[in-house]
Amino acid sequence: MSTPRSARIATAVFFFISGFSFASWASRIPDIQRKLSLNKAELGLALLALPAGLMLTLPVTGYLLQRYSSRNIMMIGVLSFNLMLALIGVVTHPWQLGVVLFCFGCSRNLMNISVNAQSVAVQTLYTRSIITTFHGVWSLAGFTAAAIGVIMVNYNIIPFWHFFVAAVVMTIMALLAFRDSPHLPPARQANTKRFIWPDKPLLKYGWISFAVMACEGTMYDWSNVYFKEAVHPPENLVAAGYVIYMLAMSSGRFTGDSLVNRIGIPTMIKYSGILVFSGFMVAAVLPHTISASLGFLMIGFGVSCVVPLVLRMATQTTKMESGPAIAAVSTVGYMGFLVVPPLIGIVAQVAGLRWVFTMMAMFGMLITILISRIKETTVKKV
């Protein structure tokens, strides 16, 4: 029987694996693009396979979680996710990349939904809030993987060996942590509705979540490509922008609570939107190594805390139960993360990446406008 502390550590390990494996792939997207001789539109279409796998697996994951423990589904997802990561390094044709990314997305969905169910179970073992720390661990893992990606690029390590070693190490970590993960019964529910759409009062929160997650997904998939093709830094600094972004986002998630306690949730989100807008504009208008890095830093801090804060606001200002409210807002937000980044490649092929980043800045403005239209008096004080 695991203790609360050991269960918390085990769950944190699985969040680390999720962030590290995904960021390992994201850090080498330019190398895969060059290896397969893909233009921006072709890369965008290939990237679309990953969210397609995620979306199509949603009902399957819900079905499995009603019949099996989330820890078992989580482990299957982790093993499959790392296997697909290793296979990305051996693809030689665009269609192969599409197939592997589709399976990558399927396994990621199995893992992420299950690990979030595990985190909720761990939270019930504590009287104080500890659940947001898990998301900070995810970001820290992404930053770590991005930094390692820089090293791999500098030493000309091909993606195959990078992905293979990462997959093996993450699999070993999962096997070691699995023993202490919470034993949860299947989530059998009388209400079998799998997709919940927000009602009118929650829709603004949904669109804020959509905007910020679209920005997050764009930075994961396109930050390295933007640095390489628009900024033109020295070869050993191509991945530096992504590292700076991940560092800023990780730092923001670990320190955001102290700022929220001082200025409140709506003001925090408003300033976050301004940072996102300013960051994209700086990177687009001044595509130089230092200025673009500053822009990526601003974007990282800007997106870091918006989603958890929006979910908190949604549960405080709606008559809907907290679980359905979070699911409803997350449904809209998740669409931004999945749909917008793949479409960027198609638009960039016609208009160029600098214009795309200029358009992405509008999402930051949208965040600020929408949060300004939500009455601050309706939000409980933190």
> What residue segments make up the domains of the chain, in order of their start?
1-181, 196-382
pLDDT above 50: residue 378: no
Dist CA 43 CA 38 (whole Å): 6
Domain pair 1-181 / 196-382, same fold: yes
DSSP state of 155: T
Q: Is residue 18 within 8 Å of 115, Cβ to Cβ?
A: yes
Q: Residue 165: pLDDT band by 50, 70, 90 thresholds? A: very high
pLDDT above 70: residue 224: yes
Q: Is residue 280 within 8 Å of 325, Cβ to Cβ?
A: no
Phi (first) and psi of residue 301, to 5 degrees: -65, -35
pLDDT of residue 193: 52
pLDDT above 80: residue 203: yes
What percent of the chain lies above the pLDDT cut of 90?
Answer: 37
pLDDT of residue 129: 61
pLDDT of residue 45: 83
pLDDT above 50: residue 381: no
Tell if the pTM clears 0.85, that is, is over it. Answer: no
Across all residues in the chain, what is the average pLDDT?
84
Instruction: Fold for 1-181, please state it.
Output: Growth Hormone; Chain: A; (1.20.1250)
Q: Is residue 169 within 8 Å of 332, Cβ to Cβ?
A: no
Average pLDDT over residues 133-149: 85
Within the chain, where are the H helices? 4-26, 29-35, 40-47, 49-65, 70-88, 94-123, 131-154, 159-178, 200-226, 240-263, 265-285, 289-304, 306-316, 322-351, 353-372
pLDDT of residue 275: 96
Predicted confidence (pLDDT) per residue in 267-288, tens digit: 989 999 999 999 999 999 998 8
Q: Is residue 109 within 8 Å of 61, Cβ to Cβ?
A: yes
CATH architecture of the domain 196-382 equals Up-down Bundle (1.20)
Amino acid at 13: V
